[in-house]
Amino acid sequence: MSLFYPSARGKLIANESGQATVELALAVTLLLIVVCSVIDFARALNDMQIISELTRQGSNIALVGTGTTSCDTSCTAVAALLAGDSGLGLASNGRVIITSFTQASPAAGGPYTVAEQVKSSSGISATSKVAPAGSGTANIAGAPALQTNQTMYVTEIFYTFTAATPVGALTNNAVGMPSTLYNIAYF
């Protein structure tokens, strides 16, 4: 088989029969990598949106909810978030932490005194970012000043994100997308 063949004018022209196949293979490979990355990034973005809504709901439930004799409002809120059908499976893939704060003298941002901290009993291992020890005082940037006998509830959700595609898992590690998603809300 000849790589070159003579043209009508006598010049030699290269045979290009396999070039299109090689170009298609390269383009499809790159396109597959991009599509898988977009799929996993969109899933992570969707999960962050769900977690954001759940943190607001958790703080709201703790604020306006009622407890039982065996479980106070924070405990009830944690149980409600875990029992709710968010599609994430927080009971096994996440951790919900609700902390209630009070304040001796009103000042925006703190210091706040930790009144109580309730963590989900199952799921991943994670500690609170606002009150890691679960007691004492904490400063929260952007939080409002509390009035006398007022309580602020802070809900934190940690969630382990798993990529849906093998290419997405490699891409997530390459671009530095965290494997544990986190959000916080306070009421």
Whole-number Å distance between alpha carbons of 9 and 126: 76
Domain assignment present for residue 8? The answer is: no
pLDDT value of position 160: 92
Neighbouring residues of 137: CB distance < 8 A, sequence distance ≥ 6: 110, 111, 112, 113, 114
Domain assignment present for residue 94? The answer is: yes
pTM attached to this predicted model: 0.81
Domain assignment present for residue 9? The answer is: no
Residue 120 belongs to what domain range?
18-186
**Count of domains observed in the chain:** 1
Q: How far is CA 80 from the centre of its chain?
A: 19
- The residue type of 87 is G
Find, among 179, 91, 97, 178, the residue nearest to 138 by Cα. Answer: 97
Domain assignment present for residue 12? The answer is: no
Domain assignment present for residue 153? The answer is: yes
At 96-148, the pLDDT tens digits run: 999 999 988 888 888 899 999 999 988 899 999 999 988 888 888 888 888 88
At 73-92, the pLDDT tens digits run: 888 899 999 988 788 989 99
